[in-house]
Amino acid sequence: MAKLVLEKVAKSFGLVNVLPGVDLDIEDGEFVVFVGPSGCGKSTLLRLIAGLEDVSSGDILIDGDSVTHVPAADRGVAMVFQSYALYPHMTVRQNLSFGLENIRMQRPEIERRVGEAARLLQIEQLLERRPKELSGGQRQRVAIGRAITRDPKIFLFDEPLSNLDAELRVLMRIEITRLHERLGNTMIYVTHDQIEAMTMADKIVVLRGGVIEQVGAPLELYNQPRNAFVAGFIGSPRMNFVEGTIGEVSGETFTFTSPDLPAMTLPRRTASLAAGQKVSVGVRPEDLIVSKGKGSGWPVTVSVAEQHGANSYIHCSRPNGEPLLIHQPGQSAVERGDILNVSPVPARWHLFDASGLRIEIEPGQEMAPPILHTAIQ
Amino acid sequence: MVDVTLARKSAPSGTFSWLFARRGRQGFDWSDALTYGFLLLGVLVMFTPVLWVVISSFKTPANLSEFPPTVLPYSAERVEVEGYAQPLPLFEVAGEDGEVRLLAQIRRVGLNAQMIDPQDVEAGPFTVPVASAVPLRQVNFVLENYTNLLVGQGGDIWRYVYNSLFITVVATVITLIMNSMAAFALSKYKFRGRNVALLAILATLMIPATVVLVPTYLIVAQLGLVGNLWGVILPTVATPTGVFLLRQYMLTIPDELIEAARMDHASEWRIFWRIILPLSSPALAVVAIFSILSRWNDFLLPLIVLNRREVFTLQLALASYQNENEIRYDLLLSMTTLTALPLALSFIFLQRYITSGIASTGIK
């Protein structure tokens, strides 16, 4: 049972205000991922929760008790560090039991817990080795094992997979997810990799410049990003943004014009639109309808067609030179220099105002479910 | 084909391959000759005095005072002659007829010596001019210098050995603990004045030890430690070089390890003992070597603090073998050899750490 509440948690290093004030509730048993570009304060926030840094102001509550002034060791949290931070001169067994020896736990209990953690992570045969004799993935397991033996209320992971190669990262991702299912503890995971965030999280917290931009389930963030930053950050490859102005607004539709593109008539799904308003239309690469030759959409020129076999990524450029990416399932027949006509899939586009905030859709005008593309018509 | 050329090109393998290493590993370059010549010169300059001391320590006092000196230790050959308590020295004596006979000398009187033929004792002693007698000598490494040193003089030497060992070991242990604690604080804690403290410690390097000798003595005297081994141990347990070297090494230990230990309920003391100290062992070894060297060879501070013979260190005892009246070369040489031995051994065993340690002090 561990519910974590952050109340206006602020942190500044000297004159640099890293976190202006964060409010966040994390429910018991949740897998929460802090994600954001580097320098957004996500690691600092984790270290504040761990107790490795002191908060400048605000309060941290675990199960309703303030732990702001409780030393790191007594907060009931365990941390897995980016560099693993295994003690290099100790064997794996000693690494796992060091924390338990420090609280003068009985030998048999230490043995039992170490054995259990080792079995859970399948590192039993490595117990007598030293960290430098282990591979990256094995070290990662030992670091997680060290956290498990302490039986914490909350697990904290600080970019734990960033030192692993791509293949191992996928494996460990699944493994940590399974571990969470088995242990059921609250876990907080920091990463800059939005794929990790999307695949592992129950709840994603997107941070920018120390401010929480949006909190929500992965697909909620994907489908209803609150602003252009979240829309661009979540999802890979990035969402395409087309800036322009609103032309005519009629009852059912409005026209959207961009200086280099022909005007496009889009269904109006919200009341708060005014002619002449500066907006940008966001369309994910997979939400573009493509047709060859003349049409009513935006004309773009193919600059590179990446064929991944199962997927095709078509990098195009708009008449003004700005890039536009199209994702198509399967293999594509387009070639460099082809002119394509693209238009957003109905109800799969987002509208952001000049400040980047999402222009909300009115109730009853929900986003359409994502559709599967067929080959080029 | 490839294998053959590779085999020919590869350097001679084995433990001593470095001895024959050559530039480019092909043929003998002129720079090889220069390199080896220079190294050989270095070896000669460094080792000749040491070798001279060691060889001389096996010479008898008479042999030592000879001029011109001999390279190897020689001693007169002696022979047991019936009717004489002591073995007599043998001489080659050229007779008037040119015949060379082997005679034993009983005593010498002025320019003449009384000799006896060891083969023919019955013939009785006869007088021979010293000029015609050449002493018969052979290479002989005498151990008397060592036995005199170790057994003679009431075994005082063992007291000096004990004193020297006590000072070296205790001072080194305390030095390591003090320096590493200071280095830990200076490298891993952030506090106001940290850099000032480090600079102040390093600044003391600019003050020569001889300048602070008298103040040091006064403090030692105030503490009542004159004539006490602790009076030598305590004044220099904190060394700026040791603190700096350990600090630089500890900076390379990642902070995450300490944070992990802190989350593992380890107290700051436990972090120091269980994490920092084991991980700094290479740097500790270097500091230990420097400390052992300087403590074992230390002379000036013991000279003024240790004023009684019972608390003399080996170095002081060595110095006491020469006074205004005489120099006991025999004891001096044997003791020098014995005194240098522990250091030579420690160098051989800790060489690895010394080179790596000195290299790291240079880089960081």
Domains A4-233 and A240-353 share a fold: no
Q: What is the C-alpha R_g of chain B?
A: 30
Residue of A nearest to B262 (CA): A73
Structure confidence at residue B188 as a pLDDT band (50, 70, 90): very high
Q: Which residues of A touch B277 (CB under 8 A)?
A: none
Which of B141, B135, B154, B89 has the alpha carbon at shortest distance from B116? Answer: B89
The reply to whether residue B263 touches residue A102, judged by beta carbons under 8 angstroms, is no
pLDDT at A325: 93
Q: Tell me what ipTM this predicted complex has.
A: 0.81
CB B90 within 8 A of CB B76: yes
**Tokens 């509730």 — which residue?**
A25
Please state, in angstroms and as integers, the Cα–Cα distance from residue B162 to each residue in A227, A320, B159, B315, B344, following that order: 80, 90, 5, 12, 18
Which domains are seen in chain B, by residue range? 2-55 (no CATH), 74-139 (2.30.30), 147-363 (1.10.3720.10)
Structure confidence at residue B285 as a pLDDT band (50, 70, 90): confident
Between these two residues, B184 and A257, which has the higher pLDDT value? B184
pLDDT at B363 over 60: no
pLDDT tens for the 377 residues of chain A, in order = 689 999 999 999 888 888 998 999 999 999 999 999 988 889 999 999 999 999 999 999 999 899 999 988 889 899 999 888 999 999 999 999 999 999 999 999 999 999 999 998 889 999 999 998 898 889 999 999 999 998 899 999 999 888 888 888 898 899 899 999 998 999 999 998 888 999 999 999 999 999 999 999 999 999 889 999 999 999 888 999 999 998 888 878 888 888 888 888 888 877 778 888 899 999 999 999 888 766 778 889 999 999 999 999 999 999 888 999 999 888 888 888 888 889 888 888 888 988 888 887 766 566 666 655 444 44
Nearest CB partner across the interface for A85, out of B256, B267, B274 = B256
pLDDT at B305: 92
Residue of B nearest to A76 (CA): B263
**Tokens 């000029």 — which residue?**
B131
Nearest CB partner across the interface for B256, out of A81, A98, A99 = A81
* Pairing relationship of beta strands B137-139 and A349-353 according to DSSP bridges: unpaired
The reply to whether residue B262 touches residue A52, judged by beta carbons under 8 angstroms, is yes
CATH 2.40.50.140 fits A240-353, yes or no: yes
Q: Tens of pLDDT along B318-360?
A: 888 777 777 888 888 888 898 888 888 877 877 777 666 555 5
Domain ranges of chain A: 4-233, 240-353
pLDDT at A348: 85
The reply to whether residue B264 touches residue A150, judged by beta carbons under 8 angstroms, is yes
The reply to whether residue B264 touches residue A99, judged by beta carbons under 8 angstroms, is yes
Q: Tens of pLDDT along B127-160?
A: 888 888 888 888 888 888 888 888 766 678 888 9
Which of B276, B296, B293 has the alpha carbon at shortest distance from B284? Answer: B276
pLDDT at B198: 92
Q: Tens of pLDDT along B201-225?
A: 999 989 988 899 999 999 999 999 9
pLDDT at B95 over 80: no
Question: What is the topology classification, in CATH, of domain A4-233?
Answer: Rossmann fold (3.40.50)
User: Which one of A46, A53, A89 makes the best mutation probe of the B interface by having the most chain B beta carbons within 10 Å?
Assistant: A89
What is this structure's pTM?
0.77
Hey, which residues 229-288 in chain B have their CB within 8 Å of chain A? 254, 256-257, 259-267, 270, 274-275, 278-279
A-B C-beta contacts closer than 8 Å: 55
Please state, in angstroms and as integers, the Cα–Cα distance from residue A310 to each residue in A136, A194, A372, B38, B335, following that order: 30, 21, 13, 69, 85
pLDDT at A270: 76
